[in-house]
Amino acid sequence: MATPRPKPSGLLQYLGSPFVTLVLLTALAFSLMILVPKFNAYALPGNQLGYEPTQPIAFSHRLHAGELQVQCLYCHSGAERSRHAGIPAANVCMNCHRFVSAPLGAIRAEDELAKKEKREPQRVVSPEIEKIYDALALNEKMQPDPARQTTPIRWVKVHNLPDFVYFDHRPHVNAGVACQKCHGPVETMERVRQVEDLSMGWCVNCHRGVDRSGLDGNGNFTSAPAPAAQGPVPVTHRVYASIDCATCHY
């Protein structure tokens, strides 16, 4: 005769209850409902390849960095002296857009229409540039309006790294690494998108390449170390990249 199995007692008895099972499943469902929308904010590198968010102002890198050849560091000046490249303040935009308020074609069209109608041409302001003026609370004379408050332009970050990764723009920029090496051909993009997966393997492969040959200070790989007869390449002209864990994770 088979020995009867002992009934579960204590915590095991409650875990086998249909009511407890229902409660646990409900809690799991609610947890997923809360966490799933947040997964994008904590996405690991590689999950945002091709990410191209809509920005509050339709800023064209193709026009500014490509056609007009504005240097990256003019707007992102923090890249050579701080960890973050930074987003320019609206005041930086005003260095040019105090005088340039619309595309040249729109201004010429207004001039021609004014001549035809025998009147003074009116100032043309494009809808996107007007957003800069609104953020700075400027009036029609480009003066601060005391009746209004300035508001920040809430740009959407494109290149996101996890909190456990430390990346510093300074050593890369000062070694001559081009912005396009990581950010892609931004001078051809109307709207910036992520073109590299920014995974650890991608970063390490680049560092290994630099470790083998070094950089010449202009972001270019140098040749292999010169033979002893020709003398070593001066240390000041060679830059190496570490692949130690603590370089990026600490």
Q: Which residue has the higher pLDDT, 12 or 85?
A: 85
Categorize the per-residue pLDDT at 24 as very low, low, confident or very high, splitting at 50, 70 and 90.
confident
The rounded mean pLDDT for the chain is 84
Q: What is the pLDDT of residues 28-85, one digit of tens each?
A: 887 777 665 555 544 555 578 999 999 999 999 999 999 999 999 999 999 999 999 9
Which three-class secondary structure string do you get for the chain? CCCCCCCCCCHHHHHCCHHHHHHHHHHHHHHHHHHHHHHHHHCCCCCCCCCCCCCCCCCCHHHHHHHCCCCHHHHCHHHHCCCCCCCCCHHHHHHHHCCCCCCHHHHHHHHHHHHHCCCCCCCCCCHHHHHHHHHCCECCCCCECCCCCCCCCCCCCCCCCCCCCCCCHHHHHHCCCCCHHHHCCHHHCCCCCCCCCCCHHHHHHHHHHHHHHCECCCCCECCCCCCHHHCCCCHHHCECCCCCHHHHCC
pLDDT at 148 over 70: yes
Mean pLDDT of the 79-106 span? 94
pLDDT digits (tens, 9 = 90+) for 195-248: 999 999 999 999 988 866 656 555 565 554 444 444 544 544 567 788 999 999
Res 18: pLDDT: 73
Q: Average pLDDT for residues 97-109, to the nearest whole number?
A: 94
- In this prediction the pTM is 0.71
